[in-house]
Amino acid sequence: MTSDLPLAGITVVELGDSASAPFAGKILAELGAEVWKVERPTGDSARGWGPSTWQGSGAAFHALNRGKRCLRIDIKDPDQLATLHELIAARADVFIHNLRPGSAARYGLDADSLRATKPELVHAEVGAFGHTGPMNTLPGYDPLMQAFSGIMSITGEEGQAPVRAGVSIVDFGTGMWAVIGILAALFRRQLQHRGATVNSSLLETAIAWMTVGIANYTADGAIGGRHGSGVAFIVPHRAYEAADGHLVISCANDALFARLCEALDHPEWATDPRFATNAARLTHRDAIDHLIGDRIAAAPRAHWQNILQSAGIPVAPTQNTAEIVTHEQTRALQILGTPTPDEIPLVGLPLSFDGKRPPPLPAARAIGADNHLLEQVLKNGEE
């Protein structure tokens, strides 16, 4: 039940569009908060995203906006903007937005304006290039940040065009960082009775994902490169092609590598000076990858999965979306859920409390579906 969840009793007003701020709002809703989603008259951009749709809106919108009350408010209209300010003043513990740079202050929705009259408000801004610096007024999106931060420089195959990660890691990561900041601010508010201004941004998130790569550069000037499905600092740690598809083999230390060599019937590789240590394998990456690849190619994925898993070696097949959705491990985790039988199953919160995952959120609402409720709440001060 919602009342059993950690954020029960917390009210969030989310003026979010697209992915990052709505993802933060979704997480907060799954943690038990009451979330009021504010959309412009034409609706959240994600309502029009494809290729898949459900009940007239992009499937992405449903994935990011379940469990929220939906309001249609035109902040360019003074009366409607005043209503939004009234909602924040009367009900909000948290206000989160990802308005274009400069827009929040124009409408009195910036942290200084809102916290001047409500000091205990947690104001969370999800930005693009960050809240300061020479580029802080520029707009930005996930692919731009994967490019600008250097992520694309180490993603894909060497000698090929830059490649972005297939999922919006920067958008979703920024939403997660915003939630972490909001939770920390709420905890401090409970102790010190004061709110906070929380800033997160796409660029800062992307730079954070470059933590190890930047450490390598500051240590010895190595700018990194592309290693396909592998990584710069561990070998073997990549996908190899079996007779019927690819599987990833991961040996993060020399003991695991020796065990892999035994499982592949080539124990001599573990004592070969070229491969005996991870440092040596990094130097001779192509040689050991070629040897392992030739061995893996001789049999199907299932054959190697059985052998390697029995030997305690981390291994996994490269699966498509249909395969992961239907896999028995996914079903056992019950991370896909639906509030009613006529809704599509969507991914829930990847957390459990006392062994129980929060229940699936109610379906995403139509634009302005709860405007009538807002009028009632503001008039009566209660639901």
**Which residues are annotated as catalytic?**
171
What is the C-alpha to C-alpha distance for residues 39 and 285, in angstroms, rounded to an integer?
A: 51
What is the C-alpha to C-alpha distance for residues 110 and 150, in angstroms, rounded to an integer?
A: 31
Q: What is the CA radius of gyration of the chain?
A: 25
Cα torsion 186, 192, 197, 203: sign:
negative
359 near 335, Cβ under 8 Å? no
The tokens describing 331, both together, are 């079903």
> Residues for the chain: how many in total?
383
What is the C-alpha to C-alpha distance for residues 195 and 189, in angstroms, rounded to an integer?
A: 6
CA–chain centroid gap for 12, Å, is 19
Read off φ and ψ for residue 15, nearest 5 degrees: -105, 70
Strand 34-39 with 68-72, pairing: parallel
CB half-sphere exposure, 25, CA atoms < 13 A:
35
